[in-house]
Structure 1
Amino acid sequence: MGVRNNASVAYEVKDRKTMKFILVLSTLAILAACSTPYQETGLAGGVEATMIAPGTAQISVKTNAYTNRSTAYQFALLKAAETTLQQGYGHFQIVSQDQYAKAGSNTTYNSYTGNFQTNSFSKPRVDAIIQMFKGKKPSSAPANVFDATEIANTLGPQLRG
């Protein structure tokens, strides 16, 4: 019979904890990779800006079911800031905004149990109209007015990874 000493038991426990930690990190990395990245709109979703008048743009964000609403809103803010700067303006105001989720479901068959399972999901969307202004954001500006450079410098590195 093999007798294990305390050191080998401690190593085995530590090794199991390490493996669980690696498994959790791997799972999180895989899930994070599934979310819609910050990109121009394509098959997997993304962001889009359309100029509708001089100094006015529509920002649209379409994401997949692995992207949360907060991230979709941040995508909209970053695209608004980038558009504002590209058009030669300094700050922007969100004139109107609509956040919603496109709901859906899929049904799968489990051949082991013989049962069908329906999974529901939602895909966050943001549509906003922004008005752009020259110069720096006034200190007395309302809460829905943003400094484009500040937003681009703050959210850009976070969302582009």
Structure 2
Amino acid sequence: MESVEMKRIFLVMAVIFILWGCATPYQKESVIGGFDETVLAPNVFKVTFQGNGFTSRERAKDYALLRCAEVCLDHGFKYFAIDEDNSYSKHSTIVVPGQTYGSYSGTTTARVTSSNKITAKTTGSLNTYTTPTIVNNIDKPKAVLTIVAFNDKNVVPRAFDATFLRNSMRAKYKIEDKEEKKQTPQRLGNSTNQTQTQKEPLESHQGNAAFQDLLGRAENGEAVAQSIITEKYYLGDGVVQDYEKAFFWGQKVAKQGDAHAQLLVGVMLHDGLGVHKNLEKAFYWSLQAAAQDDAMTQFFVGRMLCNGEGVAKDLKSGLRFLQLSANAGYVPAQYVLGGSYFFGQNGVTQNYIMAHAYLNLAASSGDEQSIKFLKLVTSKMTPEQIAQAQAMVTQWKPKM
């Protein structure tokens, strides 16, 4: 029974390690999915959202509608209607066959006869049991919507109000609005090459004076302006999202030692956003940022080293970067290390105590997958082992 359970756990964890254990977030399309759009006519757009195996059909459809509303507003329209809905779901099945096991229990009795001969008699029984077949059904939904946008709400009965829908969907899924502060890699406070500055506010289009001033400063070589404009284009924050322009400006400031820009350039090269995918260059720029002690970038570099992406596979070095990231408090790194110690992978020996400690740190942040995994690890441990792991967590302090 134990081996079958471990196979099932490993199957689930393999998927979690690849997709980081959560539904596809609301983001530009990347390796784990996201949204994309195509302009078919001045007021006609095709919008898609690709979800992963953890994304429900409802969420994929809602995210597509949210993107429809944003595209509508970005192009100066107030309302839209769905002209075609070609959404579908790609289904696949992973089967872990059942197995039959047997165990024998019995006793052997020996005696000495009157003629000094030894005789033995064995009695017992053979017990067998069969584990059930485990079927894992994976559905990857893709919402495909073609919309027509307009400004007169009477053109189409029951048309969507783009502003209302955008606000409603963002509230439902707790997604920050474009004008709000984004959940993005934070700038390093200890970088000697970085000057902390208040970012300038931009309006919702590119033709305003503030943006033109920022652009002029960037073109004149001002590093701070180049860094700001890189992030604005990367996020679509106050401007139309444009990865090519983000990469153009990001590379300029990355060469000047800005860790935040180095990370963004590395991510764009890794995912092929605005530039041809190049894992070797992605690793180079990510390593430059990781050297400045950024936990998120250290995790990114550690993952590339462990997977052999853009660099020769090096589990020892990859583990070191993952540990640096986890010890700085980065939850994804803590989660991956917990799994590594639980299974004895990525260059470490199986160690339930270390697995429990790292997952306990990740679970304390409220991460649901870490909480579930921690329960599994705990069920495999003795009270003494659990106490040792908890003592490690009590003494832990983030190393910034």
TM-score (norm 2): 0.29
Aligned residue in 2 for 1:6: none
Mapped pair 1:155 → 2:148 = no
Query: Given the alignment, which residue of 47, 52, 63 partners 1:59?
Result: 47
Mapped pair 1:123 → 2:137 = no
Give the structure with the higher percent strand.
1
Displacement of 1:99 in angstroms is 2.2
Aligned residue in 2 for 1:10: none
Mapped pair 1:96 → 2:110 = no
Task: Supply the distance in 2 between the matched residues of 1:36 and 1:112 (Cα, whole angstroms).
Answer: 38
Aligned residue in 2 for 1:83: 71
Cα RMSD of the aligned pairs, angstroms, is 2.6
Gaps of 5+ in 2: 1-15, 102-129, 177-400
The change in CA–CA distance for 1:112 and 1:89 in structure 2 (over 3 A counts) is farther
Aligned residue in 1 for 2:56: 68
| SS of residue paired to 2:25 | coil
Task: Supply the distance in 1 between the matched residues of 2:134 and 2:169 (Cα, whole angstroms).
Answer: 38
Counterparts of 1:21-40 in structure 2, within 5 Å, are: 34-40=22-28
Displacement of 1:156 in angstroms is 1.8
Aligned residue in 1 for 2:36: 48
Task: Supply the distance in 1 between the matched residues of 2:67 and 2:88 (Cα, whole angstroms).
Answer: 18
CA deviations on 1:52-75 (whole Å, 9 max, x unpaired) are: 111110011110121111111111
Aligned residue in 2 for 1:4: none
Equivalent residue letter for 1:72:
A
Aligned identity (percent) is: 30
Gaps of 5+ in 1: 1-29
Query: Which of the two has higher C-alpha Rg?
Result: 2
| SS of residue paired to 1:154 | helix
Q: Structure 1 segments of 4 or more deviating over 3 A?
A: 107-118
CA deviations on 1:15-37 (whole Å, 9 max, x unpaired) are: xxxxxxxxxxxxxxx9xx61111
Mapped pair 1:134 → 2:151 = yes
Give the structure with the higher percent helix.
2
TM-score (norm 1): 0.68
